Structures are given as C-alpha cells and as structure tokens.
A and B are shown apart, each in its own frame.
Chain A
C-alpha cells in the first residue's frame, strides 16, 4: 500500500515535469498552425525549419555564444578562483562578496547596465557585446563552483609535489587542476546552461542582426509562435536526451571496469 502510494506520487510528479514537453513534441507534428486544434499529422514544420534561415542563424548564435562564453568563463573563472584562494582570509572574503553581487543582481539590472556601458564606450551592439555580457555573468558561477573544491584540497599536496621535484606548471596541471576538476566541470555545465537559457541580458546587449533563439521566439509574440519552434525544441530535447543516454552508458561501463563510481 505504502509502496503503491509512493509510486503514484512519483509518477504524478514525472507527469507534471514531462507533460508540457510531450505536448510540445506532439504539436510539432500538427498540420494546423494553431495549438487550438489538431489538423492531422505532418512533417511540414520540420521541412520549414530546415529552410528557415532566421531560425538557423538564431540557433547558430545561441550555440556559438554558449560554447565561447562557457570556455572563456571557465578558464577565467578557474584562474580567478586559484588567485582568490591564495589570498589571505580577509581579501578572500571581500573578493567573494564582490563575486556574489552579480549573482544576486536581477538579470534586468545587469542587462541594462551592460547596455549603458557599451553605449558609453561607443561599442556597436552585436555579437561581441553579447559574448562579453555572457562571459561576464557566467564567471561568478564558475568561481562559486570551483572555490569550494580548492578549499577541500589538502594544501600539503602542493608542498609534497614540490618536495618530489614537480615544476610549478606541473603542480598546477597535475595536482591542483586534477584535484578541482569536478568543480571545473560543474562550473562549465552551469555556465553553458545559463548562457543557452539567457533572454534578458542578451536582449539588452545584442544588435546588428545577431539574435539568439530566446529573443527570436519572443519577437514572435505579436503574431503567435510558429510550430517551427516546436519542431526545433523537439530536436533539441532529443539531442540532449541522446547525449545523456550516451554519457550514462559510458559511465556505467567505466564503473564496471574500475569497480568504483567516478
């Protein structure tokens, strides 16, 4: 009885989480443009999606900015965390607080202030400004996920490595980075999801024909969102699901070989 209840609860929860996605996927095959009515099965929206240069360019910029912003902010954030970690207690605290402000700041404030800054510097809004903005709001999250790992690290490891004759560069790559790798990966994933999701900050910092998917979808608000977006979302969801599946499969294999979790 108790088990049955628990299962029911679980399934209801899953239903709430996945029902919207399922509906979206089903409607990507709807022959009618309207969500109010089912007009039969069609692959028309997928065909249109592959012909629509606007959506393609939006997708291109979304992914490109996400990848670049993730890589750059991960590198910058990791180096900064090591720097912050090596400071004394007081400076470390100050730096952390400075780092917190952009995280707590509402997106719209960050977006508007960035826009004003770019205007002040008379930088033309476009790809570069959007990328800079994305890197800026990703860095604090990277620092927040890397710094705890640094704190968990045994500082004696560094001295031990020096004792054993490691060069400074080797200490960084072979000892420090190896120890904080899980934190870096978390920060990297964090930055990627934040960047690919972002609407508000991108909205204020882009221009010159560069727009990401969220801005493109928003601009359809006047006349209703085209089912092409459903088709695109379906493809994105399938890609992510496939990726997760492959990663899990690989992890399982590794676990079996080494006999421990990674």
Chain B
C-alpha cells in the first residue's frame, strides 16, 4: 500500500514539475484558428523571427470562437472569423482596429478582396482565405451542363444529391434560385425558400458536413454543394469531378485575420498578421490547405500547379461578379435556424 502511495506521489510531483517548466520569458502570442487551416511550419518560422512563443489553438466554427471570446476569460491575440462574423464582432466592439502602418504586406492582398461591405476600408480585418460556394459534380453521371442551382431539384438525380448541413448555405441556395438576395430578411421570401427546400428533400441523399469530401471522392453521390477550397482537393483526388458556380449567383466567402479585444499584445499580433500576408508564407499556407489565398502573388504562383489551375481555386471575374458575401442578419438568424430545423424534420 505504501508503495502505491509512493508511486502516486512521484507521478504527481513529476507531472507538476513538467507543467511548471517550459515557461520562458519570451513573449507569447495566442492564436486561435480553424482546425488544419495553416501550414504548421510557418508558426515555427514566426517564433524564430520574432523570438516569441506562439500558443496555437483550433476551433471548428465561427460561433464556437465567438462564444469563447464572449465568455470573457480567454486571452487570444489573433482570430480568423468569416465575413458575417467579422461584421457581428465589429458591431459588438469585439475587434481592435488595425494600425495599417504595421502591416506593410497588406499591399500583397488582392485589391478586389479589400473594402468588402462586412468591413469597409478593412479597418479591423485582413482576408486570409476566400472562395465561392458551388456545385461539385461527377462528369460521368451528370452529362448535361451544370450552370444552375435547379439541377439540385432534378429528379433524375434523386438520392444522388448532397446538401450542406448549414442553414445559411442551404437556405441561401434556395433564395438564389428564387431570385432573391442570399441575405434576405423578408419573411415571405424565406417561406418560399422553405417550401422549395422541403420539395427538394426526397431527392437529397444526405445533409452533410465534411463527409461530403470523402463521399464525392468515393463516387457515392453525383452532385454536391461544396466550398471551392474543398472542391479543389476533391478534384485532385478524383479526376471525374468538376466544379461550377451557378448562374443565379452564389456566396463568396472570406475567412479573415483579426485582433480580438482580448489581445494583450497588439503589436506582436499585427506583426503576425503582416507575416501571414508575406508572399512566401501565404504560398506555404495555400499549398498546404488548398484554399484560395488572398495574397495575389501567392495565388498566381499556386495556380501554376495543375491541381490549382481551375475555377474552383481561381474563379474568373465573371463568376465573382455574380457572387455576394454573407452579411450579418442580426436577430433574423433565428428565423433561418427555425426554417432549417423544420426542413430537416420534414417528412
């Protein structure tokens, strides 16, 4: 018995000792990013260049990050919110304005990605990755041209269609097909979108999240709604797949770097943002992640790769002209959530 207690004490001491050390005087930068959304080696580069320690943590959704910040006892210096979340966080004073003089590499960012309505003048955020929402389809099974969302309502593909389990994206598609804005806050329009989605439900194989990637590569479905970045990866794994952005218009999304109000080291955080905008670092990140870089030089360089030389990775201006960003719709999001729950519960 004494032996057991002895061993317990030893382990306890050892463990406490281990957590105790490793704390150096170097500055710490707390980075909170999406899971697998960076080339991990660039963090080590930043640590070396700035003699600091990057404490890196991941999240799976904007909302998760938002609530962690809201809870009040987090201390992140850099976060990566999407477009509508940036808008919401600006409204709620959760972001610190950027001092652009400290971010000279902002010049590398494609001007067409700057000054978007969710953050006019990019006072609070710098785009990191961006892309579109579109249809990924199997060219062996789908021989007609894919240029409209209406193909997702085509009975010829019954039980071969995958939709995103995401309220904004799925309702947005129905709204776009009806000719309404994807940021609609009109109850009538939403109700029509709801009816359309219920009508589509018997044709849908499943409402999925990241499973869509494996299912499309494995030829389990013919048509799927995907983000362009995932389409790039799917097409590189399965050459029968192709990507299209429907003519009715779609969503252009932006994941951005920003400094939340919890930051205690804004100077280092700005250095980090500047570092992320550097050409070589942007290129490393986009090659690792496969999403479209906001850095125009990195995008040009990456597009030389065969896997990245397509409209999913590098959409034409034509496509972008018919895409809009999501806006924060405030309290109205509850109606979206309500509709989406009803669609999923419908028989």
Interface residues, chain A, CB within 8 Å of chain B? 32-37, 52-54, 64, 67-68, 71-72, 75, 115, 118-119, 122-125, 127, 173-174, 177-178, 181, 207-211, 215-216, 218-226
User: What are 8 contact pairs spanning A and B, CB under 8 A?
Assistant: A54-B40, A118-B73, A207-B74, A208-B74, A209-B30, A218-B35, A221-B210, A226-B36
Q: Which of B87-95, B140-148, B182-190, B215-223 contacts A (4 or more CB under 8 A)?
A: B215-223
Q: Given A115-B71, A209-B30, A221-B60, 4 more contacts at CB 8 Å?
A: A32-B217, A54-B56, A207-B75, A224-B36
A220-B8 Cα distance, complex, nearest whole Å: 35
* Structural contact, A124 and B209, CB atoms closer than 8 A: no
A-side contacts of B18, CB under 8 Å: 64
Interface residues, chain B, CB within 8 Å of chain A? 1-2, 8, 11-12, 15-16, 18-19, 30, 34-37, 40, 44, 55-61, 68, 71-75, 209-210, 213-220, 229-230, 233, 237-238, 289
A220-B219 Cα distance, complex, nearest whole Å: 23
* Structural contact, A36 and B220, CB atoms closer than 8 A: yes
Residue in contact with A223 in the complex, picked from B71, B219, B230, CB distance below 8 Å: B230
A160-B201 Cα distance, complex, nearest whole Å: 74
| Contacts A34-B214, A123-B73 given; does A219 touch B58 at CB 8 Å | yes
A-side contacts of B73, CB under 8 Å: 118-119, 122-125, 207
* Structural contact, A36 and B217, CB atoms closer than 8 A: yes
* Structural contact, B11 and A71, CB atoms closer than 8 A: yes
* Structural contact, A124 and B75, CB atoms closer than 8 A: yes
A194-B40 Cα distance, complex, nearest whole Å: 30
Sorted nearest first, the 3 A-B pairs with minimum C-beta distance are: A36-B218, A209-B55, A219-B35
Minimum CB distance partner of B255 in chain A: A222
* Structural contact, B237 and A127, CB atoms closer than 8 A: no
B-side contacts of A226, CB under 8 Å: 36
* Structural contact, B217 and A34, CB atoms closer than 8 A: yes
* Structural contact, A216 and B58, CB atoms closer than 8 A: yes
The distance from the CB of A166 to the nearest CB of chain B, in whole angstroms, is 14
Minimum CB distance partner of B213 in chain A: A224
Minimum CB distance partner of A126 in chain B: B75
* Structural contact, A67 and B237, CB atoms closer than 8 A: no
Residue in contact with A224 in the complex, picked from B12, B34, B214, CB distance below 8 Å: B214
Interface centre among B58, B74, B209 (most CB of A within 10 A): B58
A82-B133 Cα distance, complex, nearest whole Å: 61
B-side contacts of A208, CB under 8 Å: 30, 55, 57, 74-75
A221-B40 Cα distance, complex, nearest whole Å: 18
A-side contacts of B36, CB under 8 Å: 220, 223-224, 226
The distance from the CB of B73 to the nearest CB of chain A, in whole angstroms, is 5
* Structural contact, A174 and B210, CB atoms closer than 8 A: no
The distance from the CB of B270 to the nearest CB of chain A, in whole angstroms, is 19
Interface centre among A123, A127, A181, A218 (most CB of B within 10 A): A218
A34-B12 Cα distance, complex, nearest whole Å: 41
A210-B210 Cα distance, complex, nearest whole Å: 24
* Structural contact, A34 and B40, CB atoms closer than 8 A: no
The distance from the CB of B80 to the nearest CB of chain A, in whole angstroms, is 11
The distance from the CB of B199 to the nearest CB of chain A, in whole angstroms, is 29
B-side contacts of A224, CB under 8 Å: 36, 210, 213-214, 230
A-side contacts of B237, CB under 8 Å: 32-34, 36-37
| Contacts A52-B40, A174-B1 given; does A222 touch B11 at CB 8 Å | no
